[in-house]
Amino acid sequence: MSTSAGITEPRGWFRRVLQANAWLVYAFFYLPIVLLVIYSFSDNRNVGVWGGATLDWYREFANDEPIKTALGNSLKIAAASTTVSVVLGTMAALALERYKFRGRGFFDALLYLPVIIPDVTMAVMMLLFFAEAAKILGFSRGFSTITLSHIAFSISFVSIVVRARLAGTDEKLEEAAMDLYASRWQAFRYVTLPTIMPGVLGGGLLALTLSLDDVVITQFVTGGGWNTLPVYVFGLIRKGVTPLINAVSVVMLVASTVLVGLSLLAQRIRGGEPV
């Protein structure tokens, strides 16, 4: 705990007001989630009406074929898009951080684009792109188009995380390795990669979570029966909200939380080590 000498902690009533404020903010964030979890165990079709504790909704989730298929689709797409975007994102980060070349600024800006443009804009652009491309290449929308779209936005997030890590490591380490007769590949494999691994892992888990959660882009580029879990669940709302949706949300919430937690952990543990 290193507190800088110039700043004193607030005292007295002011401190209590700040504390209360912090708790209120946390309550505002997390109470809805707590309610969502509680009502996923409610034995009543109506969300928000408590009808005794039950695991029926989780059982229904486990027996609902379309939902399970959608979950399988989501996992396949997430696995494929994460693998590809981690490799490409890391390569992009290395290129932009370690080398100077013509058009670097351009690629830099290009990489941030998917992060800042609204999802729906990206979704429509993707849709038009795939529709036009299909005229020439003759593929149909489905696994490939969803995976490509997810790769397209995940690369940016991966490379931003990896670059942050790269910026904090000393380029001289690689130079030193090569002075000691390591080849470029060996220097990368035994020096650079282990150093940036927390960033790569963190970026990868972020990409995985984003892919599992995406609704807006996926629903525009899907086809051929490739419903992903969040898109399918969103569609169920038309038929009324039952605690089944809570149960599905809780499972997704737990999975996402575990992934984000792992991502933070990976960055902290490795990040704490002296490089």
- The amino acid at residue 138 is G
Please tell me the distance from the alpha carbon of residue 184 to that of residue 189, in angstroms, as a whole number.
Answer: 9
66 touching other proteins, by CB under 8 A? yes
Stretch that binds other proteins, among 8-16, 27-35, 108-116, 205-213 (CB under 8 A): 108-116
Hey, is 262 helix, strand or coil?
A: helix
Please tell me the distance from the alpha carbon of residue 27 to that of residue 56, in angstroms, as a whole number.
Answer: 28
Q: How many residues bind other proteins (CB under 8 A)?
A: 47
Q: Which of residues 211-230 bind other proteins (CB under 8 A)?
A: 219-220, 222-227
Please tell me the distance from the alpha carbon of residue 156 to that of residue 40, in angstroms, as a whole number.
Answer: 35
38 touching other proteins, by CB under 8 A? no
Stretch that binds other proteins, among 33-41, 118-126, 175-183, 249-257 (CB under 8 A): 118-126
118 touching other proteins, by CB under 8 A? no
124 touching other proteins, by CB under 8 A? yes
Stretch that binds other proteins, among 165-173, 194-202, 206-214, 233-241 (CB under 8 A): 233-241
- As given in the structure block, the two tokens for residue 66 are 């379309």
Among 235, 256, 260, 271, binds other proteins (CB under 8 A): 235
Please tell me the distance from the alpha carbon of residue 237 to that of residue 185, in angstroms, as a whole number.
Answer: 52
Please tell me the distance from the alpha carbon of residue 73 to that of residue 225, in angstroms, as a whole number.
Answer: 10
- The amino acid at residue 91 is M
- Paired with 42 in beta bridges are 53
Closest distance of CB 130 from other proteins, Å: 8
Nearer to other proteins, 49 or 269 (CB): 49
57 touching other proteins, by CB under 8 A? no
39 touching other proteins, by CB under 8 A? no
Place of tokens 């399970």: 68
156 touching other proteins, by CB under 8 A? no
Interior CA angle at 228 toward 222 and 229, to 5°?
Answer: 155
Hey, is 183 helix, strand or coil?
A: coil
- What phi, psi does 114 have (nearest 5°)? -65, -20
Give me the residues that bind other proteins (CB under 8 A), please. Answer: 45-49, 65-66, 105-106, 108-110, 112-113, 116-117, 121, 124-125, 127-128, 130-132, 134-135, 140-142, 219-220, 222-227, 231-232, 234-241
